Amino acid sequence: MMMTAQQYEESLRKLDLVVYMFGRRVENPVDDPILRPSMNAVAKTYEMAHQSEHENIMTATSHLNGEKINRFTHIHQSTTDLVNKTKMGRLLGGHTGCCFQRCVGMDALNALSIVTYDIDKKYDTRYNERFLKYLAHVQEKDLTCDGAMTDPKGDRSLPPHKQPDPDMFLRVVAEKDDGIVVRGAKAHQTGAVNSHEIIVMPTIAMREEDKDYAVSFALPSDAPGIAYIMGRQSCDTRKTETNPLDTGNPVFGGHEALVVFDDVFVPWERVFLYKEHEFAGPLVERFASYHRQSYACKSGVGDVLIGASQTIAEYNGVQNASHIKDKLIEMTHLNETLFCGSLACAAEGREEASGTYCVNTLLANVSKQNVTRFPYEIARLAQDIAGGLMVTLPSAEDFKSPEVGKWLEKYYQGNKDVSTENRFRILRLIENLTLGTAAVGYLTESMHGAGSPQAQRIMISRQSNTPEKQKLAKKLCGIDEK
């Protein structure tokens, strides 16, 4: 059953999450003014799946039972599925102007569908059977899953087993007849408190000495022993103010959390990797490749920023200036290049032994490497076009003030055919996308999401097949080294 947005919201209300923010327990995350916009962004993924004009992109056919499901719970069965995933990311990025948070869970599901099959093939284990049963549950309930990969890491010069504090990487601390007990934390968890499930994966390749850290499993997000500590974002408390105009994007947003696992029990049927350390690396690589493709969402947010930049140019009366036109062209060029990279790695994907289609790893990493750069230039150009007023505007309350509001209306008027309020609104949106809470999802997430820029460069080096390029060059100029 595909949930509606309202059903999704109600399902979150039934969770008993342990959430902390600003030093206090958040009793009602769904209605908290700081967290509510991030929930709205996830709800959009449910809402749009029921809209006929978006059905082909937002839904898919389950390979388990042939039923229509939300694409975020789907296992890719073709390159068409991978391409539609890219299109879905751009679509939702444009409709929310922020991170909509379900990609990481979708990417974890697909990575596990491949790696659990490969482990079983080598060791005659039953991980894939467990996984498929779990997947059926996720699809049947239309659940939002948080993919939890990033460990705190501690001293990054040391492997997990040599850390002064062994909990810097999530690990198994006890084995029981009916399951395992784990301890540790996962950092930078996008949309964690909006999720029904937490899917845990290792964060790096492992050696024999680190086998206690080579673990993957899934748990309900409100399982005993799991706690969420919310990260701060620039301008986050603006969401608590009476007037929503100062937020720039009052309806949608994102959040990040540190998720703590304080001796949490995991039943065996929810364990998908247990001490098979040599498969930690392949799981990380598969997940990272899928998730680097997922940054097509930044081209959707880029669409919003380009539209806002064109609008403020018109409101400022400079839309016909040649340098403004050229900047908008450059923004479009960069944004479409981001989209091209995600499409390319999808179109060049291939079928794995499990039957799941995976993206082209080299092109996925090239695509994400572009994402670490281009949004920053797009944002810089948007700020250039917007002008300094974007960061010196008085508050929305000042505009309403009987004492000074009349002066603000007078002196912040631009194009005479445009209201001062509309000029204020579009400037606040640009501020939100390039400096405020959305900048976490557009800029900082573009840089560090799905691994650091250096991680992508390492994968590009491994996948580049330079010896084959050397052969081509030597052949053309007549070098024979036989």
- In 3D space, the residue among 102, 281, 101 whose CA is nearest the CA of residue 207 turns out to be 281
Tokens representing 28 are: 């009602």
Q: Strand 271-274 relative to strand 215-220: parallel, antiparallel, unpaired?
A: antiparallel
Residue 322, judged by CB atoms within 10 A of its CB (0-12, 13-18, 19+), counts as exposed
Buried/exposed code over 364-399 (b: 16+ C-beta within 10 A; e: otherwise): bbbbbbbbbebbbebbebbbebbbeebeebeebeeb
The CA distance from 106 to 414, in Å, is 45
What is the reported pLDDT for 204? Answer: 96
Q: Return phi, psi of residue 474, to 5°.
A: -65, -35
What is the reported pLDDT for 242? Answer: 87
The CA distance from 322 to 296, in Å, is 29
Q: How far is CA 58 from the centre of its chain?
A: 17
Helix (H, G, I), strand (E, B) or coil at 435: coil
- In 3D space, the residue among 396, 377, 367, 389 whose CA is nearest the CA of residue 456 turns out to be 367
What is the reported pLDDT for 366? Answer: 97
Tokens representing 257 are: 């959390």
Question: How many Å is the Cα radius of gyration of the chain?
Answer: 24
Helix (H, G, I), strand (E, B) or coil at 135: helix
H/E element, 79: helix 79-96
H/E element, 272: strand 271-274
The CA distance from 237 to 22, in Å, is 11
Could you tell me the pTM of the whole model? 0.96
Neighbours of 14 (CB within 10 A): 8
- In 3D space, the residue among 103, 456, 82, 460 whose CA is nearest the CA of residue 295 turns out to be 103
- In 3D space, the residue among 318, 152, 209, 225 whose CA is nearest the CA of residue 217 turns out to be 225
Q: How far is CA 337 from the centre of its chain?
A: 19
Q: How far is CA 180 from the centre of its chain?
A: 29
Q: Tokens 């912040």, residue?
A: 412
Residues in the chain: 482
Tokens representing 153 are: 């890491």
What is the reported pLDDT for 482? Answer: 74
Tokens representing 182 are: 């784990």
Residue-by-residue pLDDT tens, the chain, 482 positions: 899 999 999 999 999 999 999 999 999 999 999 999 999 999 999 999 999 999 999 999 999 999 999 999 999 999 999 999 999 999 999 999 999 999 999 999 999 999 999 999 999 999 999 999 999 999 999 999 999 999 999 999 999 999 999 999 999 999 999 999 999 999 999 999 999 999 999 999 999 999 999 999 999 999 999 999 999 999 999 999 988 999 999 999 999 999 999 999 999 999 999 999 999 999 999 999 999 999 999 999 999 999 999 999 999 999 999 999 999 999 999 999 999 999 999 999 999 999 999 999 999 999 999 999 999 999 999 999 999 999 999 999 999 999 999 999 999 999 999 999 999 999 999 999 999 888 888 998 899 988 889 989 999 999 999 999 999 999 999 999 87
Torsion of CA 412, 418, 424, 430, to 10 degrees: -120
H/E element, 336: helix 322-347
| Cα-based distances in Å from 72 to 89, 92, 135, 227, 428 | 10, 12, 12, 25, 31
H helices of 97-225, in order, are 103-123, 127-141
Instruction: Go through the domains of the chain in sequence order and give each one's CATH number.
Output: 293-467 (1.20.140.10)
3-state helix, strand, coil in the chain (%, to 5): 55, 15, 30
The CA distance from 210 to 232, in Å, is 32
What is the reported pLDDT for 437? Answer: 83
Catalytic positions, please?
A: 99, 103, 190, 256, 291, 295, 297, 445
β strands within 339-478, DSSP E: 350-351, 357-358
